[in-house]
Amino acid sequence: MSKWAVIYSSVTGNTKLIAERIAEVSGDADLFDVKDVPSDLSNYEVVAVGYWLKRGGPDPLTAELLPKIQNVNVVLFETHGTEPRSEHAITAFARAAYLIGKGCRILGTFSCQGKVNPAMIEQRLKIAKSDDPHLGSIERWKRAATHPDESDLQAAEEFVATIKRKINLLKKYE
């Protein structure tokens, strides 16, 4: 069994909820808020980093942390108000991966829709004009407010199982 560090940044609780489930089902994990990450992560076989999206990439605290993570197996997971397989979500993984420190291997990614910060929605509606492209997002944001739900948590469990299988295969063939 491998030891995991599960690190999360969360404003609305979405990412924390997914992080807690990942930590629970990994078997042996330490759970850290992004503000409380130890400087040495070398004792962990997997470092799972979860974040919310800001302007199409990891939130500022996670963006600051990622370059400090080096020479470990990494799992990225994100929560956001858009569709999990949208271009926005996929590009955000690429932006996070670009920031990761040297010597890391990304084992997998998990994307989950989640409620959007109500303050952000209120701010967006105050400044919206009739041609604002984000006005079309309101219905999507309403759908996102019902996530993460139990099916999302189950998908996170299945994701962890997939990563564990991947680790076993890597050990076998390396």
The per-residue pLDDT for 148 is: 82
Measured CA to CA, the distance from residue 163 to residue 160 in angstroms comes to: 5
Tens digits of pLDDT across the chain (174 residues): 479 999 999 988 989 999 999 999 999 999 999 999 999 999 999 999 999 988 889 999 999 999 999 999 999 999 987 777 878 889 999 999 999 999 999 999 999 977 776 776 666 666 665 555 555 566 666 676 677 889 999 999 999 999 999 999 998 888
SS3 content of the chain, % helix, strand, coil (to 5): 50, 20, 30
Q: What angle do CA 25, 22, 151 make, to 5 degrees?
A: 90
The per-residue pLDDT for 129 is: 59
Domains plus CATH for the chain?
4-173 (3.40.50.360)
Structure-block tokens of residue 5:
């560090």
Structure-block tokens of residue 44:
């962990």
Predicted TM-score (pTM) above 0.95: no
The per-residue pLDDT for 130 is: 58
